[in-house]
Structure 1
Amino acid sequence: MLIGSILKTKPIESPMNTRMCKQKNGEPLALIGQPDVDWELDTHLDQVEETEEESLWRVIIHNDDVTPMEFVVMILQRIFELLPLQAEHVMIMAHYTGMAYVCTLPLSEAKSRVGKAHFAAQLEGYPLRFTIEPE
């Protein structure tokens, strides 16, 4: 992580790094450039990143009567990286049941791929729709 690596780098030795920061009440806060300062922000950001990575979401495709089946299969293969037979199976399931499970991804990846799929469908004038739901 960029912030963590910046905060943990060794300080440049200079007279500016040796002065004390003071709180409003006059007590010393920390020595600027002190290498063993406990950066709580860095720890918090690492925890947030791990939580987001662990949060998995299901991508669901919804049937419509306009989008061609070939286009749906192409989107499932190119954007969601399904194999040809998997993509055809998902498309058929959505066609006959109204919706179908596509895949499970971390939240940010699910949002990104759904956004790409919606964008590609809109460019072609199709109402193809995907949603995401918690695992």
Structure 2
Amino acid sequence: MSQNNQNDWEIDQGVAVEESKPELKPPPMYKVVLLNDDYTPMDFVVEVIMKYFGKHQEEAAKIMLQVHYDGKGVCGIYRSEIAETKVVQVNEYSKANQHPLMCMMEEA
């Protein structure tokens, strides 16, 4: 080993460098909300909640009543891509069944 290479090796020793890890934030979450209207039957709202949000009958009825009495009801909280998909699915399904039921998302 030459003197030059040995000195380089000695200089590199003794200095510990730890790479910093980037701080990861959890993705923003969004509430998927059903809005009340005066025309959509309550049974249809319960069906939508069960079909698209995986709620059982009793919980779906509770959310439907919240929509009815409070003007809106939260069906679930999801990452943005999932929330957007559920909003589109519910709005398209409602329209296809000739109901004005609207779904939207808002930041949680």
For Structure 1 versus Structure 2, the TM-score category normalised by the shorter chain is 0.7 to 0.9
| Aligned 1:85-96 pairs, distance under 5 A | 85-96=58-69
Shift of 1:55: 1.9
Q: Which runs of 5+ in 1 are unaligned?
A: 1-46
Task: Identify the structure with bigger relative contact order (alpha carbons < 8 Å, sequence gap 6+).
Answer: 2
Q: Does 1:107 align with 2:48?
A: no
SS of aligned partner of 1:91? helix
One-letter amino acid matched to 1:110: A
One-letter amino acid matched to 1:97: D
One-letter amino acid matched to 1:91: M
| Aligned 1:1-135 pairs, distance under 5 A | 54-135=27-108
Q: Which residue of 1 aligns with 2:7?
A: none
Q: Give the number of aligned pairs.
A: 86
CA deviations on 1:94-121 (whole Å, 9 max, x unpaired) are 1011111111011000110110111110
Q: Which runs of 5+ in 2 are unaligned?
A: 1-21
Distance, in Å, in 2 between the alignment partners of 1:61 and 1:99 is 5
Distance, in Å, in 1 between the alignment partners of 2:27 and 2:59 is 25
Greater C-alpha radius of gyration: 2
Task: Write out the 4+ residue segments of structure 1 that deviate beyond 4 Å after TM superposition.
Answer: none
**Normalising by structure 1, what TM-score?**
0.59
SS of aligned partner of 2:53? coil
One-letter amino acid matched to 2:31: R
Distance, in Å, in 2 between the alignment partners of 1:84 and 1:108 is 26
Provide the alpha-carbon RMSD of the alignment: 1.7
**Normalising by structure 2, what TM-score?**
0.73
